[in-house]
Amino acid sequence: MKFSRKKTVEAYKKKGCNVSATCSAVGISRQTFYQYRKDDNVFKQELLDAEEAIIDNVETKLLSKINEGDTTSMIFFLKTKGKSRGYIERQEVEMDVDGDMNLTVQFIE
């Protein structure tokens, strides 16, 4: 089957930006898909736009859950978007190397 950028992008959107499902839907190989993405900047940008649209959609749904009072969604949001305000889980590690090149590692909780 001949490659059609328009049909491939439409299928990519419908298939949730899944490359395998898109290739099956339009009858091309993954190799063909990736070659066109590499060679065609318009195609590449259309694929990126589709991926961004999915992220926008999921963010909207996440915000809806937050507005409904879903605690898990709130925690996830703060851990990802609130890092600069201290909403992050991290492990601090102190390391020391002595003169004999012995390494001492201490995990701080």
Share of the chain above pLDDT 90, in %: 72
Between the two ends of the chain, the Cα-to-Cα distance in Å is: 59
The residue-averaged pLDDT of 81-102 equals 80
Stated pTM of the model = 0.72
With contact defined as beta carbons under 8 Å apart, do 50 and 9 qualify? Answer: yes
Q: Where are the domains of the chain?
A: 5-108
Position 108 scores a pLDDT of: 62
**Local structure of 75: helix, strand or coil:** helix
Position 96 scores a pLDDT of: 79
The residue-averaged pLDDT of 33-41 equals 97
81, pLDDT greater than 80: yes
With contact defined as beta carbons under 8 Å apart, do 47 and 9 qualify? Answer: yes
Position 97 scores a pLDDT of: 82
